[in-house]
């Protein structure tokens, strides 16, 4: 964006963008849930035994929190790569 032509900067920007995308998806989950939509990875939801209905109903059971934690952990991993 500032004329920087560095592969390391590009790599860092890529990881920052991925982390931001994951966080945006998580932050929007309550909004989308009120509209009967869930955009979280179903493989992670199934791994923890959480259904789309759990998110739509706003449940805060341990399995729902585990899904959110796992997804947020992926964002954290991307930030660690940047550092």
pLDDT on residue 9:
84
Q: Is 2 contained in some domain?
A: no
How many structural domains does the chain have?
Answer: 1
* Dist. CA 76–CA 69, nearest whole Å: 10
- Asked if residues 71 and 44 have their Cβ atoms less than 8 Å apart, the reply is yes
Cα 31 off chain centre by: 15
17/70 Cα distance (integer angstroms):
18
Whether 27 maps to a domain, the answer reads: yes
Question: Computed from CA positions of residues 21, 65, 35, 56, in that sequence, does the dihedral angle turn out positive or negative?
Answer: positive
pLDDT tens readout for residues 29-74? 999 999 999 999 999 999 999 999 999 999 999 999 999 999 999 9
pLDDT exceeds 80 at position 4: no
Is residue 1 assigned to a domain?
A: no
The predicted structure's pLDDT at residue 36: 96
Helix (H, G, I), strand (E, B) or coil at 74: helix
Q: Is it the case that residue 1 has pLDDT exceeding 90?
A: no
- In a domain? residue 18: yes
Q: Is residue 72 part of a domain?
A: yes
- Structural domain including 11 reads 7-81
Model confidence at 3, pLDDT cuts 50, 70, 90, reads: confident
């Amino acid at each position: 964006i500032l004329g920087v032509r560095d592969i390391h900067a590009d790599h860092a920007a890529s990881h920052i963008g991925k982390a931001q995308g994951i966080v945006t998806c998580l932050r929007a989950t309550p909004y989308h849930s009120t509209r009967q939509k869930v955009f979280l990875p179903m493989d992670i939801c199934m791994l923890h035994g959480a259904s789309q209905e759990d998110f739509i109903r706003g449940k805060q059971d341990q399995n729902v929190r585990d899904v959110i934690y796992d997804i947020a952990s992926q964002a954290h991993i991307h930030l660690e790569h940047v550092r």
